[in-house]
Amino acid sequence: MRFDLSVESGEWLALIGPSGAGKSTLLDLAAGFLTPKAGRVLIAGIDMTRLSPAERPLSMLFQENNLFPQLSAFRNVALGITPKLRVDRAQRALVEAALASVGLEGFGDRRPAEMSGGERQRVALARAFLRERPLILLDEPFAALGPALRRDMLELLAGLRRRDGGAPATIFMVTHHPEDAASHADRVAYLEAGEIAAIGPAGAMLSGAGDPRVSHYLGLARQNV
Ligand SMILES: Nc1ncnc2c1ncn2[C@@H]1O[C@H](COP(=O)(O)OP(=O)(O)OP(=O)(O)O)[C@@H](O)[C@H]1O
């Protein structure tokens, strides 16, 4: 695996490519779950290569198991601001507002097993945004949801990252759905065999007009012959 990648603050980057290409590995390197054998990982210009995930200014969402199953939705979201089980009044208001922002008002007492897959991912999104980390890493968090729900979740994510008028969060999104990248990503990186084989603006990358490997992956190769 060999990656050389630079992403602007506020950019939404989609990572696409065949199974085993290294998409999750790239995210894990950015998050700190893996340490590179050589090279560096800089976030906001600061070398974070040796820092643990908890020490990095980011939140990560996986396809599943983002929540603690024994804790309520409220507690799961509250962990975004405090590790303590007791929250003060101001923190309670923040958590309730975060749940409301993802359309889950009144779901605070539910445990993950009592919610649908989409609702669980909304809870995870609420926690991620409550943490206010500038970088959000998404490893196919909506892949298990149907097309309409996936679209709704991406819309929700797009809205959440722009809130408060500040700089939008930077997003790395691994996806097996090129249409998700087309509708939301600024740039698309195509990974193959442990390298970024091609990278460019989403429109150009997904049109199939560029790199033949990308066209082949997208199933567009024949149209370009
Ligand atoms: N901890 C590990 N140790 C050794 N090899 C690993 C490890 N994790 C993943 N790999 C290998 O590295 C390669 C890239 O895996 P990775 O999970 O990054 O691919 P991916 O592009 O995310 O695939 P998918 O789309 O199927 O999730 C695969 O060949 C995988 O078998």
What is the chain's pLDDT, residue by residue, as a tens digit (225 residues)? 999 999 999 999 999 999 999 999 999 999 999 999 999 999 999 999 999 999 999 999 998 888 999 999 999 999 999 988 889 999 999 999 999 989 999 999 999 999 999 999 999 999 988 888 899 999 999 888 888 888 988 998 898 888 666 788 999 999 999 999 999 999 999 999 999 999 999 999 998 787 899 999 998 875 544
Task: Compute the distance from residue 48 Cα to the ligand 1 centre, in Å.
Answer: 22
Integer distance in angstroms from the first to the last C-alpha of the chain?
31
Instruction: For residue 177, give its domain range.
Output: 1-57+133-225
**Distance from the CA of 163 to the center of ligand 1, in angstroms?**
34
Last residue in a domain, options 113, 132, 151: 132
* Nearest atom of ligand 1 to the alpha carbon of 17: 21
**Among the three residues 83, 117, 132, which one is the final residue of a domain in this structure?**
132
Number of domains in the chain: 2
Task: State whether 42 and 139 are in the same domain.
Answer: yes
Ligand 1 close to Cβ of residue 6 (< 6 A) = no
What is the Cα 67 distance to its own chain's centre?
15
* Separation in Å, CA 147 to CA 33, 120, 142, 180, 211: 30, 17, 9, 10, 27
Asked whether residue 62 is domain-assigned, the answer is no
Instruction: Give the whole-angstrom CA distance, residue 215 versus residue 210.
Output: 7
Same-domain status, 77 and 32: no
> Domain containing 188 — which CATH number?
3.40.50.300
The reply to whether 63 falls in a domain is no
Judge whether 81 and 130 are in contact, CB under 8 Å: yes
Which atom from ligand 1 is nearest to the alpha carbon of 15? 21
